[in-house]
Amino acid sequence: MISKTISIFKQSINDYHQFDNVDTALQNPYTTGSLEALLYHKNWIDTVQWHLEDIIRKPNIDPVEALQIKRRIDASNQERTDMVEYLDSYFLDLYKDVKAESNTPLNTETPAWAFDRLSILELKIYHIEQELIRTDVDEIHIQKCKEKLEILLQQEIDLFVAVEQLLNDIAAGKKQMKVYKQMKMYNDPNLNPILYKNANH
């Protein structure tokens, strides 16, 4: 499953960069409702947000544009969290019949949050690889990027093994899976005091 997940993340990243535009509409090639479609959509959100984060750091960005981008990033963060929770719902259903002992240990993160880390890692790998083909930088820059890429590729191997082991342990009842909804407060008009105080005026 993990190798297929990484392949889907890479596909999403490459598809996005055919356009390289944050306003490009999602064109998910997988069947709606499938795990593959969910993974592709998850990484597409991450990829668009990666580039929004780049844009907002333009030194001469117009303040109005910066505010618009910041609002988009906030919305993207909420959508990213929602997608992680959808993924965890998939895994909860997948392993619902596994019998684990009451003292079976919990992992520090759920499978979907581990997949989230994989998604971001694939973005880092892609963009460091792009640095290696630049022609407007010196050899020192290239060498530093090669060193970074080595570390990222090792991280990819380590995370691959760790996530695969986590899924195997959950499937075998050696680890429990428990999901806590993120309950982000800043986007909730009932929980963010700035929003609910302004709504009353």
Report the alpha-carbon distance of residue 60 to residue 21 in Å, rounded. Answer: 19
Cα angle, residue 54 at apex, residues 49 and 58 outer, rounded to 5°: 140
pLDDT tens sequence across 90-101: 999 999 999 887
pLDDT, one tens digit per residue, over 6-25 is: 999 999 999 999 999 999 99
Question: Distances from the Cα of 164 to the Cαs of 10, 79, 159, 168, in angstroms?
Answer: 18, 25, 8, 6
CA 154/CA 159 separation, integer angstroms: 9
Asked if 9 contacts 17 with a C-beta cutoff of 8 angstroms, the reply is: no
Q: What is the pLDDT of residues 107-154, one digit of tens each?
A: 889 999 999 999 999 999 999 999 999 999 999 999 999 999 999 999
pTM of the model: 0.89
pLDDT reading at 28 higher than 70? yes
* pLDDT grade for 1, boundaries at 50, 70 and 90: confident
Q: Number of folded domains in the chain?
A: 1
pLDDT tops 70 at residue 103: yes
Which structural domain, as residue segments, surrounds residue 189?
2-199
Q: What is the pLDDT of residue 182?
A: 62
40-91: pLDDT as tens digits: 999 999 999 999 999 999 999 999 999 999 999 999 999 999 999 999 999 9
User: Per-residue confidence at 191, pLDDT binned at 50, 70, 90?
Assistant: low
Q: What is the pLDDT of residue 106?
A: 87
Q: Helix (H, G, I), strand (E, B), or coil: what is residue 122?
A: helix
